[in-house]
Each structure stands twice: as structure tokens, then as C-alpha cells.
């Protein structure tokens, strides 16, 4: 190992004065700083696979909705989940070693700690989004993987959720689908067609997809054009230019639309009540929207997606006659009106977790149908083994059959813009709802999200799923005093896990109040 490490590490140097941290989205920063990090992450992926008796581990090179000059890397565990939290610290330690000797020492510590048999061959699937820096970072990652004996499959350009699917399929002996892009398309499109057909749907579907000029563009086109185009009377992908890397997430995409609450660039002649959606750069987030007769922009974000899914699944379960639990998991960023609607109107249990989908995913596993979405559109639905044992494609009950095919259509490994898109489009048809009916279930409380640059964001420590500050001492009391001055006021402060900043969220009965509250809380934070 020492010999190959010395050889392969040539050219991969840790930059000075940077501390790396494997956070909620893996490592993410300016691509120019990432070479050493992807090299050490390659090493760790090989070790993780060996530790898990050669099960396949995934490596995704992406910076999601971040600007084109950024990049990042994250690891995917064998069942398609995020890397186990205990290993995040090892990823961080390896990335921060500043000499070959120190790196070797840390590797030996990990090997000893987990009693890893280095003779076990590791297996790693790797993919990247469409960023310009991707190919060079891929090469360095592969150098890291080759420090040990590793079977590597490079899938080239994929969406993040496609890679999660592939890793799980690769570890599931065919029971999850074929481990190839074709297998992914086949699984989703067969389920889509079946739900459409068995329910006797005949109205065709219309959607315009803004793909953020990212990898979701060619992938959603491939899936729909090659498999299910006949079910659409209008399907168009805009912002689909992945040839020009500077356009990625620029004035388009889910993050732009959610943050600015307006249409992305390049929507041709927006018509009232047409349904649009936006993916982010690696297609694991989706938000929908439309404009009203008066040309008012209406956002249907992750909270609206959760509530639509919850109301649909509650109805469906009743029709199946099965005894199954439904629950929704949100974060503190969920609009208060959505939480109220879920618990008071739909009467469904709602749990709140810290930001980051791994937290939501974990809690969603407590339900037979666990629906989780961050307000920004990242989320999915999980189905328990109990449920999976009760549904079948050969059932004589139409609702049970529909439920079975939904478990196939929904990517249970991670939030997936393409799978979520098809699911929502079908559910709207099944409920015979348009965007306006969907949006009318509750009205969002006006809200404001601010980013505040502080000297040290690590001073901000929270509890109560990030809704209460415990440090700096006394600050929460001051925030509460401000909140109490506004009807329906709510505000919280937390350190971002992906940017060197503190985020301030506020909502209140009126737009002006939400802005004033956010500004006042931001002043307290500075």
C-alpha cells in the first residue's frame, strides 16, 4: 500500500490554510481546492467497500445547485443511502492530512480500527455531474481508489439519484432493478405506464422542465423520449445546455426559483395554469410552479409536494383496506402553514429534524409510508418492509396494485427530481387536479430567508431540531422577544452546513412583517 500510495499521490497535494469538512452534502467548495480531497475520498471509498466485504460503494462528484466554479464529492453506501455518519469523521481526517506520512498513519488507524482485510477486493461505482472540473477530479479520485485493489465502474455523467439507484441495484442481485442507466429508465417507465393504464387515465400530461442547464436535462429527455413520450401532449425541457458549463444553475434551476420566487429564464410564453418544474444541477431537487391569470407567480415547493403526497397516500390507503401508517418529516424551514395543514387538516403525524436529508430519511423510516421533503424540494417517500410485503402487481385490488407500482416509481434511495416529477404528474392526474387545486390546500405564510456572514459560525449551537439556539448564551431570548411582536411570527437561526454563514429564517402573517422580523433577528446575530 505504501508503495502505490507514494506513486499515486504524486501531484495530489493538500492546499495550505484550508480545513476540509465532510458535511451534509459531503465535501463542497471551489473546484480548484478539491484535488487532494477527492484523492483521499477515493481511498476512503475503497476502505469502506473492503470493510463491507466488497459491497459496492458510490462516489458522486457534484456540487448540486452551487455555481459552476464549485464542485464536491460525496459517498453513497451500499443500499443507496448517504455515507454512515460515523465514517464522515474519517473522510474529514483523511482530507486534512498534510503529508504522505500523515496520510499513511491515518489509513493504518482506520484499517486497524475496523479490522479491515485489505485483501478483500473493493468495488466502487463513480459518476459526475456536468461541471468542467469533473474529468480532472474524476482522475484524481481514481488515483485514490487505485491505492488499493479496487474494481471501478465509471458511469460518466449521471444525476446524483441515478448513481444512488445504481449502487443499490449493484448490491441487490437483480431485486432492485438492473444496475445500468437502462435499468433505471426501465424501472421508472414501466411503473409509470402501469399506473397510467390500470387506472384508466386518458388525459395526456403537459409539463415544461427547467433542467438548470445540468445533467438532469439529457437524462429526463432520454427517459421520456425513449420510453413514455406517448403519454404526454406537451413535454419540453428548457435550460438544457450542458455544453456551456458557465450556464449551470445560472438564472435557472430549483434553487434560483425557490430563492427568488420567480420564473427561471427561457420559459417560452408563460401561460396561466400551465405546470412548470425546475431541477437543480444534479437533479436531486425539484420544485413546481405556475402563473395565475393575473400573471402572479405561484411556487409549489417541497412543502406543497409533501402535502399533496400525504393527502393522496391517505386516500389510497383507505381504498386498499390495509392498515398502514403515513407520516411526514420536515425541517424547521417548512412553512408553518404546511405543518398546520398536515397535522390539523390531514391529521397526519409530522416530525421535524435538523437540516440535511440524511436526518429526514432516518426518521421517515419509522412509518409504513414516510414522506420527507425539505422546503427546497429535496425529498422522497420511503416504504416499509411491512408495506412491501403486502403489495403486489398481481393483486386484484386496483389500489394495492397502484401502491405497488408507486413503490417502483419512487426512488427510495434519495430525493430524485425525475422520479418525483413523474410521481407528482401522475398523482395530479389520479386526483384530477391542476396546479391551482393543488395550491389551494393551504396558503404559505410569508417568509424570508437571510444569509448573515459572521466571524465564526461555529459559535451558533442549536437544539430542538435547530429551532432553538443554546449558544451564544441569551441570544434565543432576544429572538423570542422579537418574534412575539409579530402575529404568526416564527424565526430561527442556525449555522449553514454548506456555506460559511449563518442563516436566519422568519415567517409572519404579512410579507412586510416577515421581512422586518428577519432583518431584526439578523441584526441580533451580527
Interface residues toward ligand NG1, by CB under 6 A: 24-25, 64, 333, 355-356, 374, 376, 378, 496-499, 503
Cell numbers placing 70: 464549485
Q: Does the protein bind Zn ion through residue 282 (CB under 5 A)? A: yes
Q: From the CB of 522, what's the least distance to Zn ion, in Å?
A: 26
Q: What are phi and psi of 443, to 5 degrees?
A: -110, 125
Q: Which is nearer to ligand NG1, 148 or 373 (CB)?
A: 373
Q: From the CB of 378, what's the least distance to ligand NG1, in Å?
A: 5
For 266-305, letters b (16+ CB in 10 Å) and e give ebeeeeeebbbbbbbbbbbbbbbbbbeeeeeebbbbbbbb
Q: From the CB of 284, what's the least distance to Zn ion, in Å?
A: 4
Q: Where does this chain touch Zn ion (CB under 5 A) — which range of 200-208, 275-283, 290-298, 506-514?
A: 275-283
Tell me which of Zn ion, ligand NG1, none is bound by residue 253, counting a contact when its beta carbon lies within the kind-specific cut-off of 5 to 8 angstroms.
Answer: none
Q: Which helix (H) or strand (E) holds 326?
A: strand 326-331
Q: Does the protein bind Zn ion through residue 129 (CB under 5 A)? A: no
Q: How far apart are CA 343 and CA 21, in angstroms?
A: 37
In order of 91, 229, 427, 502, 512, the CA distances from 524 in angstroms are: 35, 53, 44, 12, 19
Tell me which of ligand NG1, Zn ion, none is bound by residue 376, counting a contact when its beta carbon lies within the kind-specific cut-off of 5 to 8 angstroms.
Answer: ligand NG1
Q: Does the protein bind Zn ion through residue 70 (CB under 5 A)? A: no
Q: Helices in 226-293 by DSSP H: which ranges?
A: 253-260
338 is catalytic: no
Q: How far apart are CA 334 and CA 360, in angstroms?
A: 12
Tell me which of Zn ion, ligand NG1, none is bound by residue 333, counting a contact when its beta carbon lies within the kind-specific cut-off of 5 to 8 angstroms.
Answer: ligand NG1
Among 284, 301, 374, 416, binds Zn ion (CB under 5 A): 284
Q: From the CB of 251, what's the least distance to Zn ion, in Å?
A: 17
| Residue number of the CB atom closest to Zn ion | 64
Q: From the CB of 127, what's the least distance to ligand NG1, in Å?
A: 17
Q: Does the protein bind Zn ion through residue 255 (CB under 5 A)? A: no
Exactly one of 9, 64, 491, 514 is catalytic; name it. Answer: 64
The residue count for binding Zn ion (CB under 5 A) is 4
Q: Which is nearer to ligand NG1, 187 or 378 (CB)?
A: 378
141, 61 in Cβ contact below 8 A?
A: yes
Residue with cell 426518521: 363
User: Do the strands 468-471 and 461-463 form a parallel or antiparallel pair, or are they unpaired?
Assistant: antiparallel
Q: From the CB of 377, what's the least distance to Zn ion, in Å?
A: 9
Q: Which is nearer to Zn ion, 280 or 416 (CB)?
A: 280
Q: Which helix (H) or strand (E) holds 298?
A: strand 297-300
Q: How far apart are CA 134 and CA 191, in angstroms?
A: 33
**Can you say whether residue 490 is alpha, beta or left, with left for phi > 0 and alpha for psi between -120 and 50 degrees?**
beta
Q: Does the protein bind Zn ion through residue 280 (CB under 5 A)? A: yes
Q: Which is nearer to ligand NG1, 361 or 429 (CB)?
A: 361
Residue with cell 469502506: 48
* Catalytic residue positions, numbered: 64
Amino acid at each position: 500500500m505504501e508503495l502505490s500510495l507514494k506513486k499515486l499521490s504524486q501531484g495530489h497535494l493538500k492546499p495550505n490554510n484550508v480545513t476540509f469538512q465532510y458535511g451534509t452534502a459531503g465535501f463542497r467548495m471551489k473546484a480548484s481546492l478539491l484535488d487532494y480531497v477527492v484523492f483521499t475520498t477515493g481511498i476512503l471509498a475503497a476502505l469502506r467497500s473492503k470493510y463491507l466485504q466488497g459491497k459496492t460503494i458510490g462516489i458522486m462528484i457534484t456540487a448540486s445547485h452551487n455555481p459552476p466554479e464549485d464542485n464536491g464529492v460525496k459517498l453513497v453506501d451500499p443500499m443507496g443511502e448517504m455515507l454512515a455518519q460515523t465514517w464522515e469523521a474519517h473522510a474529514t481526517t483523511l482530507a486534512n492530512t498534510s503529508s504522505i506520512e500523515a496520510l499513511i498513519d491515518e489509513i493504518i488507524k482506520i484499517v486497524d480500527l475496523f479490522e479491515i482485510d485489505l485483501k478483500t477486493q473493493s468495488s466502487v461505482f463513480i459518476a459526475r455531474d456536468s461541471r468542467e472540473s469533473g474529468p480532472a477530479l474524476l482522475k484524481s479520485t481514481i488515483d485514490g481508489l487505485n491505492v488499493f485493489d479496487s474494481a471501478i465502474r465509471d458511469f460518466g455523467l449521471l444525476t446524483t439519484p441515478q448513481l444512488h439507484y445504481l449502487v443499490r441495484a449493484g448490491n441487490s442481485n437483480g431485486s432492485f432493478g438492473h444496475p445500468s442507466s437502462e435499468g433505471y429508465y426501465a424501472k421508472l417507465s414501466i411503473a409509470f405506464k402501469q399506473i397510467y393504464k390500470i387506472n384508466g387515465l386518458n388525459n395526456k400530461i403537459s409539463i415544461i422542465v427547467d433542467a438548470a442547464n445540468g445533467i438532469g436535462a439529457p437524462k429526463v429527455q432520454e427517459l421520456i423520449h425513449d420510453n413514455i413520450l406517448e403519454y404526454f401532449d406537451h413535454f419540453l425541457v428548457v435550460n438544457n445546455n450542458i455544453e456551456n458549463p458557465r450556464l449551470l444553475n445560472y438564472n435557472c434551476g430549483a434553487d434560483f426559483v425557490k430563492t427568488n420566487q420567480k420564473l427561471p429564464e427561457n420559459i417560452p410564453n408563460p401561460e396561466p395554469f400551465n405546470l412548470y418544474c425546475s431541477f437543480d444541477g444534479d437533479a436531486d431537487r425539484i420544485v413546481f410552479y405556475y402563473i395565475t391569470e393575473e400573471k402572479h407567480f405561484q411556487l409549489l415547493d417541497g412543502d406543497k409536494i409533501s402535502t399533496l403526497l400525504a393527502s393522496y397516500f391517505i386516500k389510497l390507503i383507505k381504498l386498499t383496506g390495509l392498515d398502514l401508517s403515513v407520516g411526514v418529516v420536515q425541517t424547521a424551514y417548512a412553512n408553518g402553514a404546511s405543518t398546520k395543514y398536515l397535522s390539523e387538516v390531514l391529521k397526519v403525524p409530522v416530525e421535524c429534524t435538523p437540516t440535511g436529508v440524511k436526518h429526514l430519511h432516518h426518521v421517515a423510516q419509522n412509518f409504513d409510508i414516510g414522506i420527507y421533503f425539505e422546503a427546497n424540494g429535496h425529498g422522497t417517500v420511503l416504504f416499509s418492509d411491512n408495506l412491501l410485503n403486502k403489495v403486489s402487481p398481481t393483486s386484484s385490488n386496483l389500489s394495492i396494485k397502484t401502491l405497488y407500482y408507486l413503490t417502483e416509481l419512487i426512488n427510495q434511495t434519495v430525493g430524485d427530481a425525475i422520479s418525483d416529477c413523474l410521481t407528482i404528474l401522475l398523482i395530479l392526474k389520479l386526483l384530477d387536479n391542476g396546479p391551482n387545486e393543488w395550491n389551494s390546500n393551504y396558503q404559505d405564510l410569508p417568509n424570508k430567508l437571510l444569509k448573515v456572514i459572521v466571524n465564526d459560525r461555529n459559535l451558533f449551537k442549536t437544539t430542538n431540531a435547530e429551532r432553538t439556539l443554546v449558544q451564544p448564551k441569551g441570544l434565543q431570548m432576544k429572538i423570542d422577544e422579537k418574534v412575539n411582536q409579530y402575529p404568526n411570527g416564527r424565526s430561527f437561526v442556525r449555522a449553514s452546513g454548506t456555506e460559511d454563514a449563518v442563516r436566519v429564517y422568519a415567517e409572519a402573517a404579512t410579507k412586510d412583517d416577515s421581512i422586518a422580523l428577519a432583518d431584526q433577528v439578523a441584526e441580533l446575530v451580527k
